[in-house]
Amino acid sequence: MAKRNDWLFTLDNQAVDELIHCITALEKNPRDVFELTVADFELPVLGPRLTAVRAEILHGRGFVQMRKLPVAELNQRQCALMFWGIGLHLGDSIACQNKHGHVLGHVRNLGQTVHNATERGPYSGDRIPWHVDACDIVGLLCLKTATRGGESSIASSSAIYNALSRSRPDLVAALTKPVYRDRRDEVPPGKPPWYALPVFNRHAGLISMSIEPTYIGSVARHFEAEPNTPEQIEGVAEIQKLADSMRLDIEFEPGDIQFLNNYAIVHTRQGFEDSADLDQRRHLLRLWLLNNDGRPLGDAYFDRHGDRSTVTRPGGIVGPDTEPVWTID
């Protein structure tokens, strides 16, 4: 992939003009963002291209990096609306990213740390281990980069599974059994403060990976003893090494939008240092998209929040009082 560029998608002038036309219309006639549909982002040329991108993410390569959204020429609300409109073309619904209901996430260093079991990596400057998010497609729009660090990398879940199957089939066997994870105080009604989901999930002839090292690492606080086996803990660590060895590094530039299939791709972010100027600090917008035509999933994914009778499509984070919220700040 490092020698190819077919995963790069440049938003040309025509595509940008179509997006600007849509948000200009919305600025003249403001609407509640939750009422917006694909029809509000009619993109005669870009729309069919996004349909092809959606298929590639869900059933092909698993990722795309869009470039050249003119964020320097737009205000933050305009950037967010463009990003939202693209997301409506790529997903069937948009999931909450935390117990506060944020559907437009802001990835910024708010002084939190992954080492605190009640805090989240997106709001820290820490390195985040190789992981996936709770959705079909995660999208990241880069508004500003860090002064130093913050590089992003991705790796293929299938490649990792195949490599580990060859070198340590015993660890693969352990990771196909339920692995306990901490909810980090984001607990759906009627559920315990932890949940269990295998790292490797076999269903409908496919292997889907779900790995969250920080959540797996802090789950023991809810038990008298570590609930995960030594083989499972070793397997999670081995996956980190394998992903490092076969990663694709992708440099984020302002105006870049990255979309990843969380069942086929794992990702990481290096630690970073921010500017002393608050307005110039690293800032990404994030979407969690759910796709009804996405990968077929086993019951364990649905059990995180309910079951197949209560969950239309697994994904998102729900607390006891979660209501969807959209904020540009």
DSSP letters of 263-292? TTEEEEE--EE--SSGGGS-EEEEEEEE-T
Positions of E strands within 21-144:
63-67, 93-94, 105-107, 128-131, 137-144
Phi, psi of 28, rounded to the nearest 5 degrees: -75, -35
For the chain, the domains span 8-302
What pLDDT sits at residue 109? 67
Contact 187/317 with Cβ under 8 angstroms?
no
First to last CA, the chain: 35
Nearest-angstrom CA–CA distance, 316 and 227: 24
Give me the sheet containing 128-131, strands edge to edge: 128-131, 265-269, 152-156, 248-250
Nearest-angstrom CA–CA distance, 151 and 250: 7
Contact 263/295 with Cβ under 8 angstroms?
yes
Nearest-angstrom CA–CA distance, 47 and 90: 10
Question: Going residue by residue through the chain (329 aa), what tens digit of pLDDT does each one get?
Answer: 999 999 999 999 999 999 999 999 999 999 999 999 999 999 999 999 999 999 999 999 999 999 999 999 999 999 999 999 999 999 999 999 999 999 999 988 666 566 666 555 566 567 789 999 999 999 999 999 877 767 889 999 999 999 999 999 999 999 999 999 999 999 998 999 999 999 999 999 999 999 999 999 999 999 999 999 999 999 999 999 999 999 999 988 999 999 999 999 999 987 777 766 767 778 999 999 999 999 999 999 999 988 999 999 999 998 888 999 998 87
CA distances to 37, 275, 299, 324 from 125, in Å: 34, 12, 35, 26
Q: Where are the alpha helices (DSSP H) in the chain?
A: 13-28, 46-59, 76-90, 157-167, 169-175, 213-217, 230-245, 299-302
Nearest-angstrom CA–CA distance, 88 and 86: 5
Q: Please name the fold of domain 8-302.
A: Double-stranded beta-helix (3.60.130)
Contact 222/175 with Cβ under 8 angstroms?
no
Could you give the dihedral angle defined by the CA atoms of residues 152, 54, 105 and 256, in that order, rounded to the nearest 10 degrees? 50
Q: Which two tokens stand for residue 144?
A: 């500003």
Nearest-angstrom CA–CA distance, 267 and 248: 9
For the beta carbon of residue 300, count every other beta carbon within 10 angstroms: 18
Name which of 54, 61, 80, 57 is nearest 69 in CA terms: 80
Q: Specify the residue for token string 């339920």.
A: 178
What pLDDT sits at residue 113? 64
